[in-house]
Amino acid sequence: MPDHADFDVICPNNHNQAVSLTREEFERVVKAGAQFHCNTCDTNWTLSGKQIEDIRERFEKPAPRS
């Protein structure tokens, strides 16, 4: 299992936000309401249940070999 996931989230105003979190950090974000912030347009939004599950799946896949 990878120790962190790099992924992109798109804000409601269509700005791409690159995110890198450990599983523990991600679960803390989810527990706090899955709020993300766009630095481009200063918008806050909540991830959908589907988005949360998609990101959780990234933590379940084997880590890439170096």
Please give the chain's pLDDT, 66 residues, in tens: 567 888 888 899 999 988 888 999 989 989 988 888 898 999 999 888 998 898 888 888 766 665
Q: Which two tokens stand for residue 21?
A: 């979190």
Closest by Cα among 28, 31, 24 to 5? 24
Nearest CA to 31 among 52, 9, 14, 10? 52
Q: Write out the two tokens for 9.
A: 């989230």
> What pLDDT does residue 13 have?
95
pLDDT value at position 63?
61
Q: What is the pLDDT, as a whole number, of residue 65?
A: 63
Q: What is residue 2's predicted lDDT score, i.e. its pLDDT?
A: 61
User: CA–CA separation, 15 vs 2, rounded Å?
Assistant: 26
